[in-house]
């Protein structure tokens, strides 16, 4: 099972105005990480098998995917959490926005308001 955690984040625009938003993070438990890792391994070995009928290219693709499988599986296993999104009011246009994050994003992060395209700075809450 994975666990969803909501923490506070500040959304700051270029004029220094800030609003407070919610940062959603999904945390993976150990069993989940094993399952995700094995799925990734399976996917790569499936790609390896699927590359068999490709003439010439299979000399590279089959061992390539085969070797990449455990490595990618291990890398997936090492991922403990995923940043989902930040939601809150945009300090420029006051619109409630949801800003998608990359899984490995770290705060602070520069991004754009999906509504008014103002550059926004997402930071951890100020203490
Ligand atoms: Zn905006």
In tens, the pLDDT along 84-106 reads: 999 999 999 999 999 999 888 88
pLDDT band at residue 126, thresholds of 50, 70 and 90? low
Exposed e or buried b per residue across 52-83, where buried means at least 16 C-beta atoms within 10 angstroms of its C-beta? eeeeeeeeebbebbeebbeebbeebbeeeebb
Distance between Cα 5 and ligand 1 center (Å): 25
Beta-ladder partners of 82: 26
pTM (two decimals): 0.75
pLDDT band at residue 2, thresholds of 50, 70 and 90? confident
Question: In the chain, where are the structural domains located?
Answer: 2-29+83-123, 31-78
Distance between Cα 110 and ligand 1 center (Å): 14
Q: Give the chain's mean pLDDT.
A: 94
* Cα–Cα distance for residue pair 91/120, rounded to 1 Å: 8
Distance between Cα 82 and ligand 1 center (Å): 24
Question: Which position has the higher pLDDT, 108 or 125?
Answer: 108
């Amino acid at each position: 099972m994975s666990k969803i955690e909501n923490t506070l984040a500040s959304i700051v625009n270029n004029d220094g105005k800030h609003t407070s938003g919610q940062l959603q993070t999904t945390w993976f438990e150990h069993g989940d990480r094993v399952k995700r890792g094995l799925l990734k391994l399976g996917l790569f070995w499936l790609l390896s098998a699927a590359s068999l009928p490709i003439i010439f290219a299979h000399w590279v693709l089959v061992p390539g995917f085969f070797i990449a499988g455990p490595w990618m599986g291990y890398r997936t296993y090492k991922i403990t959490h995923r940043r989902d999104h930040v939601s809150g009011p945009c300090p420029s246009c006051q619109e409630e926005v949801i800003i998608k994050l990359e899984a490995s994003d770290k705060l602070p992060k520069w991004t754009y308001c999906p509504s008014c395209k103002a550059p926004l700075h997402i930071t951890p809450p100020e203490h």
